[in-house]
Amino acid sequence: MIEAIACAKVNFSLRIGPVQENGLHRIGGRFQSISWIDRLEVGWADEDSLASMSGGPVIAGKNNLVWRAATLVRTEAESDRPVRISLGKSIPSAAGLGGGSADGAAALGALGRMFGVDITTQLAGKLGSDVPFCWRGGAADVGGTGGTLQARDVPGGFALALVVPPVELSTAAVFTQWDAMGGPSGSPVTGLDLPPSLRSAEPLVNDLHPAAAAVAPILEDWRRELESSWGRKVLLTGSGPTIYAFFVDSAEAFAALDAIPPGARSAAVAGPVPFGWVARDDADMWSYARLDEPAEELAGRLFDG
């Protein structure tokens, strides 16, 4: 049996450009894997199965990205050998955190090892535009329609407090609204509003923020209230609705979560991590990212936490 962790991602910056020939918008931005994780267990079986670790149904069933990853790997391996997959969800769905894409990437990492398939970033892209980043993980400048990645050093010296307001946002609906609004730009966040490790980069801007707020006005109510109570800028990740702020450390971020209004779908404290997923069995631990000793120790804490 192989177990894996799948890391959520935050869009520190997301700029939107014109629609390309493939029907997707050109994007540019800085993405970061974080320590908010889902869990997977994968093994051989007498018949195919996909189940939730909590005992409930898996979102989208066999259309879930985890199962699509299994189908893709078996097609590449020219095999129909049955597998069982258990999925433990912690990352909220429809929240702008890339949880489904992270799960798909982790499934590729586990199943690729089982079936002897060499998983490439291009192959990962067949599952969706966020999956290439989730496959490689860490920190990266992302361009094109999600498949162009330039690795960056993983920043440190901060923790994130993340809050998911009580609304779900469809990425497609937010992009449609962005087009209808004439392609607005987000407001830049710079200077002392950012941790020192991010101040030398370009300003953090999310062009989807105006569209997400138009689709779900409650989002701005939550953002303004948190900015007031936290005394700092609150940013939107992806198409939302997850909003977040930077804090000095996890203790300060956990204290901030004590001040959030009732009714949030979910909330968490997380930090940047140098991988998008990690898998392990009884003999080995692996990832797309190079796992040096500190990374292995971090992954071990996430597995065992």
- C-alpha–C-alpha distance, residues 195 and 248, integer Å: 8
* Residue 46 designated active-site: no
Pairing of the two strands 285-286 and 49-52: unpaired
- C-alpha–C-alpha distance, residues 125 and 146, integer Å: 8
Marked catalytic residue, from 9, 89, 103, 233: 9
Amino acid at residue number 251: A
Q: Which of helix, strand or coil describes residue 294? A: helix
Marked catalytic residue, from 89, 130, 207, 233: 130
Sequence-distant (6+) residues with CB within 8 A of 136 are: 121, 149, 151, 276, 288, 289
* Residue 282 designated active-site: no
**Alpha-carbon Rg of the chain, whole angstroms?**
19
Of 127, 140, 135, the C-alpha closest to 7 is 135
- C-alpha–C-alpha distance, residues 62 and 14, integer Å: 30
Dihedral (CA of 94, 100, 101, 103) sign: positive
Kindly list the catalytic residues.
9, 130
